[in-house]
Structure 1
Protein backbone atom coordinates (compact mmCIF):
# COMPACT_ATOMS: atom_id res chain seq x y z
CA UNK A 1 0.00 0.00 0.00
CA UNK A 2 1.31 3.40 -0.91
CA UNK A 3 0.57 6.52 1.12
CA UNK A 4 1.42 10.15 0.58
CA UNK A 5 2.13 12.38 3.53
CA UNK A 6 1.17 15.81 2.23
CA UNK A 7 2.85 18.66 4.08
CA UNK A 8 0.50 21.62 4.12
CA UNK A 9 1.86 25.08 3.38
CA UNK A 10 2.19 27.95 5.84
CA UNK A 11 2.86 31.66 5.55
CA UNK A 12 6.58 30.88 6.00
CA UNK A 13 6.67 28.25 3.25
CA UNK A 14 4.77 30.59 0.93
CA UNK A 15 7.27 33.37 1.70
CA UNK A 16 10.07 31.00 0.69
CA UNK A 17 11.56 31.01 4.20
CA UNK A 18 13.88 28.00 4.37
CA UNK A 19 13.73 25.65 7.35
CA UNK A 20 16.30 26.16 10.10
CA UNK A 21 19.25 23.83 10.56
CA UNK A 22 17.57 21.95 13.43
CA UNK A 23 14.54 21.11 11.34
CA UNK A 24 16.68 20.13 8.35
CA UNK A 25 18.65 17.76 10.58
CA UNK A 26 15.47 16.28 12.10
CA UNK A 27 14.00 15.70 8.62
CA UNK A 28 17.27 14.15 7.40
CA UNK A 29 17.22 11.69 10.30
CA UNK A 30 13.54 10.89 9.72
CA UNK A 31 14.14 10.26 6.01
CA UNK A 32 17.11 8.02 6.87
CA UNK A 33 14.81 5.98 9.14
CA UNK A 34 12.34 5.61 6.28
CA UNK A 35 15.15 4.47 3.96
CA UNK A 36 16.52 1.96 6.50
CA UNK A 37 13.00 0.55 6.93
CA UNK A 38 12.73 0.21 3.14
CA UNK A 39 9.49 2.20 2.88
CA UNK A 40 10.58 5.54 1.35
CA UNK A 41 9.67 6.02 -2.33
CA UNK A 42 10.11 9.81 -2.61
CA UNK A 43 10.32 12.94 -0.46
CA UNK A 44 10.55 16.53 -1.68
CA UNK A 45 9.73 20.07 -0.71
CA UNK A 46 7.99 22.37 -3.17
CA UNK A 47 8.71 25.95 -4.12
CA UNK A 48 6.10 28.54 -3.06
CA UNK A 49 2.97 28.94 -5.17
CA UNK A 50 4.40 32.22 -6.50
CA UNK A 51 6.55 29.98 -8.72
CA UNK A 52 3.61 27.73 -9.63
CA UNK A 53 1.06 27.48 -12.41
CA UNK A 54 -2.50 26.25 -11.92
CA UNK A 55 -4.28 24.60 -14.84
CA UNK A 56 -8.05 24.25 -14.72
CA UNK A 57 -10.65 22.73 -16.99
CA UNK A 58 -13.67 25.04 -16.65
CA UNK A 59 -15.74 23.38 -19.41
CA UNK A 60 -16.14 19.69 -20.23
CA UNK A 61 -14.08 19.04 -23.36
CA UNK A 62 -12.96 22.66 -23.31
CA UNK A 63 -9.53 24.15 -23.52
CA UNK A 64 -7.45 24.17 -20.31
CA UNK A 65 -7.03 27.53 -18.60
CA UNK A 66 -3.68 28.56 -17.04
CA UNK A 67 -3.16 30.87 -14.09
CA UNK A 68 0.19 31.93 -12.65
CA UNK A 69 0.73 31.85 -8.88
CA UNK A 70 0.75 32.89 -6.16
CA UNK A 71 -2.43 31.22 -5.00
CA UNK A 72 -4.18 32.61 -1.97
CA UNK A 73 -6.12 29.63 -0.62
CA UNK A 74 -3.63 28.91 2.20
CA UNK A 75 -5.44 25.77 3.39
CA UNK A 76 -5.10 24.30 -0.11
CA UNK A 77 -1.36 24.88 -0.47
CA UNK A 78 1.06 21.95 -0.43
CA UNK A 79 4.62 22.65 0.70
CA UNK A 80 6.02 19.14 0.24
CA UNK A 81 5.34 15.44 0.33
CA UNK A 82 6.70 12.07 1.36
CA UNK A 83 5.62 8.95 -0.49
CA UNK A 84 5.93 5.64 1.35
CA UNK A 85 5.04 2.02 0.67
CA UNK A 86 3.93 0.08 3.73
CA UNK A 87 1.93 -3.03 4.65
CA UNK A 88 -1.04 -1.33 6.30
CA UNK A 89 -2.88 1.90 7.01
CA UNK A 90 -1.80 1.59 10.64
CA UNK A 91 1.88 1.45 9.64
CA UNK A 92 1.41 4.56 7.48
CA UNK A 93 -0.14 6.38 10.43
CA UNK A 94 2.77 5.34 12.67
CA UNK A 95 5.28 6.79 10.18
CA UNK A 96 3.24 9.99 9.77
CA UNK A 97 3.11 10.49 13.54
CA UNK A 98 6.91 10.18 13.69
CA UNK A 99 7.52 12.97 11.15
CA UNK A 100 8.96 16.08 12.79
CA UNK A 101 6.80 19.22 12.68
CA UNK A 102 7.51 20.03 9.01
CA UNK A 103 7.57 23.79 9.53
CA UNK A 104 8.58 24.07 13.17
CA UNK A 105 6.97 26.49 15.57
CA UNK A 106 3.83 24.35 15.84
CA UNK A 107 2.62 25.38 12.37
CA UNK A 108 3.01 22.03 10.65
CA UNK A 109 0.12 20.00 9.32
CA UNK A 110 0.34 16.68 7.48
CA UNK A 111 -2.45 15.08 5.49
CA UNK A 112 -2.10 11.32 5.00
CA UNK A 113 -3.70 9.90 1.85
CA UNK A 114 -3.63 6.42 0.36
CA UNK A 115 -2.62 6.20 -3.30
CA UNK A 116 -4.91 4.31 -5.67
CA UNK A 117 -3.44 1.10 -7.01
CA UNK A 118 -4.23 0.31 -10.68
CA UNK A 119 -6.51 -2.65 -9.80
CA UNK A 120 -8.64 -0.31 -7.67
CA UNK A 121 -9.39 1.88 -10.69
CA UNK A 122 -10.14 -0.76 -13.30
CA UNK A 123 -10.44 -4.50 -13.81
CA UNK A 124 -9.74 -4.33 -17.57
CA UNK A 125 -6.74 -6.58 -18.28
CA UNK A 126 -5.45 -4.35 -21.09
CA UNK A 127 -5.43 -1.23 -18.91
CA UNK A 128 -3.75 -3.11 -16.03
CA UNK A 129 -1.09 -4.51 -18.38
CA UNK A 130 -0.44 -0.99 -19.69
CA UNK A 131 0.01 0.32 -16.14
CA UNK A 132 2.40 -2.52 -15.32
CA UNK A 133 4.45 -1.82 -18.46
CA UNK A 134 4.74 1.86 -17.49
CA UNK A 135 5.89 0.92 -13.96
CA UNK A 136 8.57 -1.37 -15.40
CA UNK A 137 9.81 1.44 -17.66
CA UNK A 138 10.03 3.77 -14.68
CA UNK A 139 11.93 1.19 -12.63
CA UNK A 140 14.38 0.66 -15.48
CA UNK A 141 15.03 4.40 -15.77
CA UNK A 142 15.89 4.57 -12.07
CA UNK A 143 18.64 1.97 -12.44
CA UNK A 144 22.15 3.23 -13.25
Structure 2
Protein backbone atom coordinates (compact mmCIF):
# COMPACT_ATOMS: atom_id res chain seq x y z
CA UNK A 1 0.00 0.00 0.00
CA UNK A 2 1.28 3.43 -0.84
CA UNK A 3 2.20 5.41 2.29
CA UNK A 4 -0.40 8.12 1.63
CA UNK A 5 -3.14 5.51 1.19
CA UNK A 6 -2.10 3.71 4.37
CA UNK A 7 -2.17 7.02 6.22
CA UNK A 8 -5.66 7.77 4.86
CA UNK A 9 -6.87 4.33 5.96
CA UNK A 10 -5.45 4.85 9.46
CA UNK A 11 -7.14 8.24 9.75
CA UNK A 12 -10.48 6.95 8.46
CA UNK A 13 -10.42 3.97 10.83
CA UNK A 14 -9.59 6.30 13.72
CA UNK A 15 -12.39 8.70 12.77
CA UNK A 16 -14.91 5.86 12.57
CA UNK A 17 -13.84 4.58 16.00
CA UNK A 18 -14.10 8.13 17.33
CA UNK A 19 -17.67 8.43 15.99
CA UNK A 20 -18.68 5.20 17.76
CA UNK A 21 -17.05 6.55 20.93
CA UNK A 22 -19.00 9.78 20.56
CA UNK A 23 -22.22 7.78 20.17
CA UNK A 24 -21.44 5.85 23.37
CA UNK A 25 -20.78 9.09 25.26
CA UNK A 26 -24.06 10.58 24.00
CA UNK A 27 -25.90 7.44 25.10
CA UNK A 28 -24.25 7.64 28.53
CA UNK A 29 -22.40 4.32 28.29
CA UNK A 30 -18.77 3.29 27.99
CA UNK A 31 -17.26 2.02 24.75
CA UNK A 32 -16.87 -1.45 26.24
CA UNK A 33 -20.53 -1.57 27.37
CA UNK A 34 -21.59 -0.38 23.91
CA UNK A 35 -19.54 -3.13 22.26
CA UNK A 36 -20.73 -5.84 24.66
CA UNK A 37 -24.40 -4.96 24.30
CA UNK A 38 -24.00 -4.62 20.53
CA UNK A 39 -22.69 -8.18 20.25
CA UNK A 40 -25.27 -9.65 22.65
CA UNK A 41 -28.07 -7.86 20.81
CA UNK A 42 -26.71 -9.05 17.48
CA UNK A 43 -26.77 -12.60 18.86
CA UNK A 44 -30.47 -12.28 19.77
CA UNK A 45 -29.98 -11.54 23.45
CA UNK A 46 -27.40 -14.08 24.52
CA UNK A 47 -23.78 -14.82 23.74
CA UNK A 48 -20.85 -16.75 25.14
CA UNK A 49 -18.65 -14.46 27.20
CA UNK A 50 -15.54 -15.75 25.40
CA UNK A 51 -17.14 -14.92 22.05
CA UNK A 52 -17.69 -11.30 23.12
CA UNK A 53 -13.97 -10.92 23.74
CA UNK A 54 -13.07 -12.48 20.38
CA UNK A 55 -15.59 -10.40 18.44
CA UNK A 56 -14.79 -7.04 20.06
CA UNK A 57 -11.05 -7.32 20.61
CA UNK A 58 -11.60 -6.07 24.15
CA UNK A 59 -9.49 -7.76 26.84
CA UNK A 60 -11.14 -10.47 28.92
CA UNK A 61 -10.46 -8.46 32.07
CA UNK A 62 -12.30 -5.41 30.70
CA UNK A 63 -15.16 -7.60 29.46
CA UNK A 64 -15.45 -9.30 32.88
CA UNK A 65 -15.47 -5.97 34.68
CA UNK A 66 -18.10 -4.44 32.38
CA UNK A 67 -20.31 -7.55 32.58
CA UNK A 68 -20.15 -7.55 36.39
CA UNK A 69 -21.28 -3.91 36.35
CA UNK A 70 -24.10 -4.68 33.89
CA UNK A 71 -25.11 -7.66 36.02
CA UNK A 72 -25.30 -5.49 39.17
CA UNK A 73 -27.49 -3.03 37.24
CA UNK A 74 -29.83 -5.86 36.20
CA UNK A 75 -29.11 -5.39 32.49
CA UNK A 76 -27.57 -8.82 31.95
CA UNK A 77 -27.56 -12.12 33.77
CA UNK A 78 -25.18 -15.05 33.44
CA UNK A 79 -26.01 -18.67 32.90
CA UNK A 80 -23.76 -21.69 32.70
CA UNK A 81 -23.00 -23.01 29.23
CA UNK A 82 -21.21 -26.23 28.31
CA UNK A 83 -18.10 -26.90 30.37
CA UNK A 84 -16.51 -23.68 31.56
CA UNK A 85 -18.44 -21.51 29.12
CA UNK A 86 -20.52 -18.69 30.54
CA UNK A 87 -23.44 -17.27 28.57
CA UNK A 88 -24.24 -13.58 28.97
CA UNK A 89 -27.95 -12.86 28.51
CA UNK A 90 -29.95 -9.67 28.30
CA UNK A 91 -32.56 -9.37 31.01
CA UNK A 92 -35.93 -7.78 30.34
CA UNK A 93 -34.46 -4.51 31.62
CA UNK A 94 -31.45 -5.15 29.37
CA UNK A 95 -33.67 -5.57 26.31
CA UNK A 96 -35.23 -2.18 26.98
CA UNK A 97 -31.82 -0.65 27.65
CA UNK A 98 -30.41 -2.08 24.40
CA UNK A 99 -33.41 -0.84 22.44
CA UNK A 100 -32.61 2.69 23.65
CA UNK A 101 -28.80 2.58 23.53
CA UNK A 102 -27.83 0.04 20.84
CA UNK A 103 -30.67 -0.29 18.32
CA UNK A 104 -30.24 3.32 17.14
CA UNK A 105 -26.74 2.30 15.99
CA UNK A 106 -28.21 -0.61 14.03
CA UNK A 107 -30.65 1.77 12.38
CA UNK A 108 -27.88 4.17 11.37
CA UNK A 109 -25.70 1.35 10.04
CA UNK A 110 -28.63 -0.06 8.07
CA UNK A 111 -29.35 3.36 6.55
CA UNK A 112 -25.73 3.62 5.42
CA UNK A 113 -25.68 0.03 4.17
CA UNK A 114 -28.91 0.55 2.23
CA UNK A 115 -27.53 3.67 0.54
CA UNK A 116 -24.84 1.51 -1.05
CA UNK A 117 -25.41 -0.61 -4.13
CA UNK A 118 -25.24 -4.40 -3.72
CA UNK A 119 -21.93 -4.28 -5.59
CA UNK A 120 -20.51 -1.66 -3.20
CA UNK A 121 -21.57 -3.72 -0.18
CA UNK A 122 -20.00 -6.86 -1.61
CA UNK A 123 -16.80 -5.05 -2.54
CA UNK A 124 -16.54 -3.53 0.94
CA UNK A 125 -16.89 -6.96 2.56
CA UNK A 126 -14.38 -8.58 0.21
CA UNK A 127 -11.76 -5.88 0.75
CA UNK A 128 -12.29 -5.71 4.52
CA UNK A 129 -11.86 -9.48 4.82
CA UNK A 130 -8.78 -9.33 2.60
CA UNK A 131 -7.29 -6.62 4.80
CA UNK A 132 -8.08 -8.58 7.98
CA UNK A 133 -6.55 -11.75 6.56
CA UNK A 134 -3.42 -9.89 5.47
CA UNK A 135 -3.09 -8.31 8.88
CA UNK A 136 -3.34 -11.74 10.57
CA UNK A 137 -0.77 -13.18 8.17
CA UNK A 138 1.85 -10.45 8.56
CA UNK A 139 1.36 -9.90 12.30
CA UNK A 140 2.45 -13.52 12.85
CA UNK A 141 5.93 -12.44 11.72
CA UNK A 142 6.27 -9.81 14.45
CA UNK A 143 4.32 -11.34 17.33
Q: Which has the higher helix share?
A: 2
TM-score, normalization by structure 2: 0.29
Scaled by the length of structure 1, the TM-score of the pair is 0.29
Q: Bigger relative contact order, structure 1 or 2, given CA contacts below 8 A and separation 6+?
A: 1
Looking at secondary structure, tell me which structure has more strand per residue.
1
